């Protein structure tokens, strides 16, 4: 009976003087400890799926081939893979060794080494992986292991040494040793000599749990006669060892990543007043000299211009905030602000809002799918939805665009320099012309021509003084 770990070997080994490395990401585990309907690799982490951090760490390195091993239950993961990644399916969850075996037949003939990276280690960096590959280039071992030192080895495999030489890896469940100091543990990646790996894989033992663990290959390599050291280790920072198996570890990884993000922005010239209460996602771009006040969250693919002041207590998601803008204690979602815009406090810009330069949106205003021209003022307590406002428009307090008739949404258009009085209700579809005016409390149900003033419920044109005088004389 053929072992599930049996892999086909190439007819001939590549020239050992030429290093051709394939990156293999193991992401076949079911992640049951996460207790989520969403695959572990897609769990959100500082605004990105967890797996993307691993892929991004691999991206700058010149791998000859890129392979990811997935469970068939994780079809959704394929949608986020960059171009050039080859998917191999692990039909049964029989451990990391079994997952690695599934990838071997997919290797190109020229591949000389296989870098195995865990898909649930989002804190591993390009520098960590690059140093591991360089160690393989210079020392030519059978196996190179990325390790770190932990005071508490927890569930990580522990490096076992015989003198200075690596003798193997002891899985946490099998380790009965008592430690009085830091313990060297297996971190996020291991690199194998491909020819040796294909010979060794069919001999990989099955654990008492019924699974195959690729860490057993370390002991097999250590016992193999080899001109150089058969196994070498490369030390990585403690953070790199952190894998994510449950919600607690996900939160721990998020804390580390958020600190990295904050440090990157601070060093680039962004003023972050209180990093402890500031949350910035990984894909956010902030220009130097912007200022982020306490209690602020900037999420998704947001962009913040130089000189902008965001917060305190602002939430910005997938939005573009222009230079020298001020957003105080407000929510901005999928919106775009020009330069010198002021928003808040306590306003909400909903998706589709576009504010031109020097627009003012004051207290307790809500805008949705609204395009607002330069220097327009929306002072306070107003709802502007599905609207197009021109330049230098004044929106009085309590103004509402009545955009929904119970069946469909309709648009309100307010042209340049119009003046909308307090508590005006604009029943869409409706247009208010340039320099037109509405009186306080008006209910506008018909278009208002340019320059005209309307008042009342429903709003009607305000008669001129001459017309009023003539009407009074007639009545007399």
Q: Give the Cα separation of 7 and 255 in Å (integer).
A: 40
Q: Give the Cα separation of 344 and 326 in Å (integer).
A: 8
Positive or negative: CA dihedral 272, 276, 277, 281 = positive
Give the 3-state secondary structure of the chain.
CCCCCCCCCCCCCCCCCCCCEEEEEEECCCCHHHCCCCCHHHCEECCEEHHHHHHHHHCCCCCCEEEEEECHHHHHHHHHCCCCEEEEECCCCCCHHHHHHHHHHHCCCCCCEEEEEECCCCCCCHHHHHHHHHHHHHHCCCEEEEEEEECCCCCCCEEEEECCEEEEEECHHHCCCCCCCCEEEEEEEEEEEHHHHHHHHHHCCCCCCCCCCCCHHHHHHHCCCCCCCCEEEEECCHHHHCCCCCHHHHHHHHHHHHHHHHHHHHHCCCEECCHHHCEECCCCEECCCCEECCCCEEECCCEECCCCEECCCCEEECCEECCCCEECCCEEECCEECCCCEECCCCEECCCCEECCCCEEEECCEEEEEEECCCCEEEECCEEEEEEECCCCEECCCCEEECECCCCECCEEECCCCEECCCCEEECCEEECCCCEECCCCEECCCECCCCEEECCCCEECCCHHHHHHHHHHHC
> Could you tell me which of 411, 418, 425, 412 has the C-alpha nearest to residue 450?
418
Q: Give the Cα separation of 80 and 328 in Å (integer).
A: 35
Q: Give the Cα separation of 419 and 298 in Å (integer).
A: 34
**Is residue 335 within 8 Å of 317, Cβ to Cβ?**
no
**Is 446 designated active site?**
no
Catalytic residue among 121, 265, 342, 380: 380
Active site residues: 380
């Amino acid at each position: 009976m053929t072992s599930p770990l049996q892999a086909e070997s190439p007819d001939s080994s590549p020239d050992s003087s030429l290093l051709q490395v394939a990156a293999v990401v193991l992401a076949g585990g079911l992640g049951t400890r996460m207790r989520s309907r969403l695959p572990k690799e897609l769990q959100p982490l500082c605004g990105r799926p967890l797996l993307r951090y691993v892929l991004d760490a691999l991206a700058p390195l010149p791998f000859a081939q890129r392979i990811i091993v997935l469970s068939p239950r994780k079809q959704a993961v394929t949608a986020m893979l960059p171009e050039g990644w080859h998917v191999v399916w692990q039909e049964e969850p029989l451990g990391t060794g079994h997952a690695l075996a599934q990838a071997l037949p997919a290797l190109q003939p020229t591949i000389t080494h296989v870098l195995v990276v865990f898909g649930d280690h989002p804190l591993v960096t390009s520098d960590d992986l690059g140093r591991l590959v360089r160690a393989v280039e210079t020392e030519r071992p059978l196996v190179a292991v990325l390790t770190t030192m932990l005071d508490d080895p927890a569930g990580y495999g522990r490096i076992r040494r015989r003198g200075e030489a690596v003798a193997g890896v002891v899985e946490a469940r099998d380790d009965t040793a008592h430690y009085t100091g830091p313990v060297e543990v297996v971190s996020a990646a291991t690199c194998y000599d491909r020819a040796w790996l294909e010979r060794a894989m069919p001999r990989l033992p099955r654990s008492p749990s019924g699974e195959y663990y690729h860490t057993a290959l370390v002991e097999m390599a250590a016992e193999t006669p080899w001109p150089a050291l058969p196994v070498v280790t490369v030390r990585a920072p403690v953070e790199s060892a952190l894998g994510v198996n449950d919600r607690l570890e996900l939160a721990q990884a998020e804390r580390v990543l958020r600190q990295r993000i904050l440090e990157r922005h601070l060093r680039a010239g962004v003023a972050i007043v209180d990093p402890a209460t500031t949350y910035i996602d990984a894909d956010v771009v902030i220009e130097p000299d912007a200022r982020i006040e306490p209690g602020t969250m900037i999420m998704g693919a947001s962009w913040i211009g130089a000189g902008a002041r965001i917060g305190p207590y602002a939430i910005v998601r997938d939005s573009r905030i222009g230079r020298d803008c001020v957003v105080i204690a407000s929510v901005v979602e999928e919106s775009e602000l020009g330069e010198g815009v002021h928003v808040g406090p306590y306003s909400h810009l909903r998706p589709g809002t576009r504010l031109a330069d020097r627009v003012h949106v004051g207290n307790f205003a809500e805008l949705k799918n609204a395009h607002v021209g330069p220097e327009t003022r929306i002072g306070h307590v107003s709802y502007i939805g599905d609207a197009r406002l021109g330049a230098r428009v004044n929106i009085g307090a309590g103004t509402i665009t009545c955009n929904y008739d119970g069946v469909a949404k309709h648009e309100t258009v307010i042209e340049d320099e119009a003046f909308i009085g307090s508590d005006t209700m604009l029943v869409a579809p409706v247009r208010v012309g340039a320099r037109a005016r509405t009186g306080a409390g008006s209910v506008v149900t018909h278009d208002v021509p340019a320059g005209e003033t309307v008042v009342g419920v429903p709003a009607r044109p305000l008669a001129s003084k001459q017309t009023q005088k003539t009407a009074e004389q007639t009545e007399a």
